[in-house]
Structure 1
């Protein structure tokens, strides 16, 4: 307080709004001590009772209560401010603590009473009432000390400051209450006391009571719950103390940096709500920005701007409401979602849409003014202004109605889309249920080839046999594209039969190799699985042979007259390129022409193979359609001849 006091003795008080109960002096002392205003008010009351501080109010011309003032009496005495000291004492009433007759201090009773200041400064006895019977006439106006303090030799004082006798180091104390809560034996134990007001001097010596900071610390320590979160007592009510530091997350620390002082005044629940709101706003900003990592810095800038509008953190009376409802809220000045008070969030520059809105409004005003001048040229200035305002108001009402209509249309369109999405979801769910039911029914069907139950219409072995048969037919058609006359059906059938016999021989050889590797009796243990394995082995054999038949067909078709002619044309065309005309028979020209001829030959072979396969498939399909379906009696007879599940193993082994 001395370091923040002017030469006149008046303490420099803080500005802004303060609570009426504590006052501006308590608010200033709370910032100096780092404690709550209520605790600072208690400290200020003890200092006033001890005679170190005088409180009063500034006089006004209307004789009403003016602004509160706080004077440090030792500073006023040291600088000779006798008049200010007298006014402070008269305005504050009894400013000195009551002292018994037997009290003693650092000064002996017989010393001069003016030893606190210079001889020219009048003592406080001249302004204090002489009716105080508790204080002897020869008592000194110095800070009271406990009897257990060892008397020290008084040092010569030059300016009358209480802190001058600290020794030769000339340093400031770490804080107000450092080393003053220790016992007389030197141990670092706090002195227990039930007295609400300290009755000894505040500068040196032992304090039987605790200061507001110590009381608050004791309450925090004693009110700590099992979960580790302390409780603070303020105004007789118990509330949960918030975390003093910002969250550990770097993004949250950057975003909440401008309001760190407001954060410390929130309780834990409010801090959790603020963290959730900041996280939601950061996620929204990340979706709007091209560089999402800049969202915390952008939010911190927004909070800084809001604080500047408010006038600083000291002007915020309700931190939680201000942060959640004003500091974090985006205020778009136009319809652009990236606009915040006329500034683009993604670029940081002025919002072009806001500029367009302003331009449109100005253009509309100019247009309306021109219409008024053209329609009513004889109007005066006042009447013209009134007509202009009326028409602008009509336009504003029309725009508001149009906005409401468009908003209702948007809501109706949104509802229609939501209904369509709901209908689509219901239709999809219904289709999925129908498909699941159909699949369940299909799974119950027996195999159409062997009659095995619960085979979904076709068991695994029969399905592999069908795929093997289709691959054998495809291999026969591929071989027939070059080895048979396409117009001769018998020739095509002969080639297909030859391919079938070859592939069946390969399948039989593969089966024999598989049976040699299987342990005796293993196939009889699971006949269904054995049949499926053999069918898969046959399909794999045909699938491996099919690429060889196709490669052979392309090679033979590449030597046909059509392919040779196409290769010859490509060779000549490449030689006639303008970069080969100077030397058409050179090495580079011949190499390029040869490559072009080979590419043309391969392309022609693939084309011929594709065309001939299409012709063969069409003719095969026509013959299949002409063949009449077998009657059910014949089909049932064939199915009756098929072995049952128990006889499958014997058939497979055979």
Structure 2
């Protein structure tokens, strides 16, 4: 599918837009590298690939790595390695494979080791005329064998004389000819070459040009061994030496070599008869002196990493605006220090955003703070330690009072003077004036010098008293906070206990059986019985509503007859509703849940009664609106509305008659509602008195009714019947 999408939608430039010939070549290459092999019935058998037996963890990664390296290998069989600086532990070959696979160099090193063990990759160093190791090379054996090439053995180098006086053949430098193999501009990865072009070039075409020194930069192990020669990482500083040593091309005789031994006492000098001190040696001496004085000696790589900070400001617009006044200090920071300062500035910007009315002004406000702090210091040139100054003085807010928006007496949200600071100053001046007035009244004969001394002493005493009072009030506040925490904890414990008790009560209630039908775990009343009780209450209500206008309220028999008639009518409607419900249900659908089926039928009956009750109430209001009381109230309202002063000129006019009729209808409706409410209350009181007088129904009367009900197991049959 990826090939089909590339052919149909990817266009001609898509990497997978292959022709049939290209696809066949790619598949044949995959078969030769890691195909499992097969023997067709007709035709020549296909042998298994080189990694056909590779199984287990990392097998797919190994196959992919081999395929990518083969595709990026020239006809000579040597893999085109990447340029630039690489980590010494992994090496340039692992860095090349890591870039192809898109993984880390450590993971690529493991893949390369497995491929070497499998015999498909061979690694060696280029042959040199000295005993120094040349550049690493990687040969893809399948490609080399396909072109009839073989891996050249490593030639041993032996001979007398200093091994440091010669330079490697393949090293870059000013002694190399312009057309040497190591010159920039040679073919890139995957470039085709003739059979005789076997020279290795590690830098690809797209790599950036760097200093023409040794191909691999080896970081110095310690300051004692770092002498600043070409090809070694300068651990003390990233600066280059002021000048190179003179007479570096001269031969070194035995005496000079003996006199110019390195600090460690091993090996010969690299070049020059009298190597002069480099700036790195001076830094080493200073750092060694600091270490001897109690400081901690650092390795050379750490100082270099510390000094490699970003020269430019961070990419964020807010950060750039805030740090613009201290950009020179920012450039003096190391990478780690810049990260710390950036995090502190971000945190301060987030805090200022929550304080300001216009949050977008936070970066400019912080920039103004940096500017004011620099003015206090005297400029950036006087800041000898940028990192502590930025983190402890530049970024930090300095409130002059208890207001969170105060910074050196300036309100952050308005930019004006802090009113709270003004109040504090006013209170201090008032206290000084009060103390001075008391002193002048008590000691009027003091001289000017004695007066100032006594005044200062009393002010100090007053400040001590206020500080003691502040400490006392703070302790009181802490004690009150502790009491509040204790009360809150006690309330939480009590609430937890109440919730636990309520949960236990609810669980116990849920375990109760139904009071009416005995269904287990029904919380005292099952759903169906709850619907039945509600139907009973509404049926009784409908009967009483009908009795308010159709029965003699003082005749209990007449009321009972009306209620029974209403009950019979509602039961008929309920039965018809249940039959319609059963007709809509598919046969056998209610067999699986008999309890739910009974509840559904009871709910259908409840809906029938609830829909019928408003009709009974509206009918009762209509009948009660025709009673003598309602008619009399309507006539009085009609006459009152017709006799109003704005209808006196024409009491029988159209407007007067319409208004009087509307008032009469409203009075009739109010009277009907009043009559219905009062008569229902009278009937309910009579029913309560009768229930009290009758007492509880004896079991002898209730048992036949309960015995006629179906049990839980027989509910399904009852529903179907």
If the length of structure 2 is used for normalisation, what is the TM-score? 0.52
- 1:493: Cα distance to partner? 3.7
Aligned match of 1:531: 598
Contact (CA 8 Å) 1:558, 1:564: kept in 2 or not? no
The 1:357/1:200 distance shift into structure 2, 3 A limit, reads closer
Aligned match of 2:452: 385
Among 195, 212, 217, the alignment partner of 1:191 is 212
Among 443, 450, 464, the alignment partner of 1:376 is 443
Counterpart check, 1:540 vs 2:607: yes
The 1:524/1:302 distance shift into structure 2, 3 A limit, reads same
- 1:147: Cα distance to partner? 10
- 1:408: Cα distance to partner? 0.9
Aligned match of 1:362: 429
Contact (CA 8 Å) 1:567, 1:598: kept in 2 or not? no
Structure 1, 292-301 or 529-538: larger mean CA deviation = 292-301
Contact (CA 8 Å) 2:374, 2:380: kept in 1 or not? yes
The 1:645/1:411 distance shift into structure 2, 3 A limit, reads same
Among 506, 512, 536, the alignment partner of 1:469 is 536
Contact (CA 8 Å) 1:571, 1:594: kept in 2 or not? no
Contact (CA 8 Å) 2:306, 2:336: kept in 1 or not? no
How do residues 370-449 of structure 1 correspond to structure 2 at under 5 angstroms? Answer: 370-449=437-516
CA distance in structure 1 between the aligned counterparts of 2:320 and 2:626, rounded to whole angstroms = 78
- 1:346: Cα distance to partner? 3.4
- 1:469: Cα distance to partner? 2.2
- 1:513: Cα distance to partner? 0.8
CA distance in structure 1 between the aligned counterparts of 2:307 and 2:689, rounded to whole angstroms = 89
Aligned match of 1:644: 711
CA distance in structure 2 between the aligned counterparts of 1:359 and 1:367, rounded to whole angstroms = 12
Q: Which runs of 5+ in 1 are unaligned?
A: 1-145, 151-186, 202-210, 213-231
The 1:383/1:149 distance shift into structure 2, 3 A limit, reads farther
The 1:429/1:321 distance shift into structure 2, 3 A limit, reads farther
Aligned match of 2:196: none
In structure 2, the residue corresponding to 1:522 is in which secondary structure? Answer: coil
Contact (CA 8 Å) 2:637, 2:663: kept in 1 or not? no
The 1:326/1:524 distance shift into structure 2, 3 A limit, reads same
Aligned match of 1:455: 522
Counterpart check, 1:330 vs 2:431: no
Contact (CA 8 Å) 1:468, 1:539: kept in 2 or not? yes
The 1:300/1:627 distance shift into structure 2, 3 A limit, reads farther
CA distance in structure 2 between the aligned counterparts of 1:470 and 1:305, rounded to whole angstroms = 83
How do residues 590-601 of structure 1 correspond to structure 2 at under 5 angstroms? Answer: none
Aligned match of 2:580: 513
Contact (CA 8 Å) 1:558, 1:602: kept in 2 or not? yes
- 1:332: Cα distance to partner? 2.8
Which structure is richer in relative contact order (CA contacts within 8 A, separation 6 or more)? 1
The 1:515/1:637 distance shift into structure 2, 3 A limit, reads closer
If the length of structure 1 is used for normalisation, what is the TM-score? 0.57
The 1:582/1:501 distance shift into structure 2, 3 A limit, reads same
- 1:555: Cα distance to partner? 4.8
- 1:545: Cα distance to partner? 2.4
- 1:537: Cα distance to partner? 1.0
Let me know the Cα RMSD of the aligned residues: 4.4
Contact (CA 8 Å) 2:307, 2:333: kept in 1 or not? no
Among 406, 426, 430, the alignment partner of 1:339 is 406
- 1:461: Cα distance to partner? 1.5
- 1:648: Cα distance to partner? 1.2
Contact (CA 8 Å) 1:338, 1:344: kept in 2 or not? yes
The 1:434/1:313 distance shift into structure 2, 3 A limit, reads farther
- 1:387: Cα distance to partner? 1.9
- 1:417: Cα distance to partner? 1.6
Q: Which runs of 5+ in 2 are unaligned?
A: 1-173, 179-207, 215-228, 231-239, 246-277, 280-298
CA distance in structure 2 between the aligned counterparts of 1:590 and 1:311, rounded to whole angstroms = 97
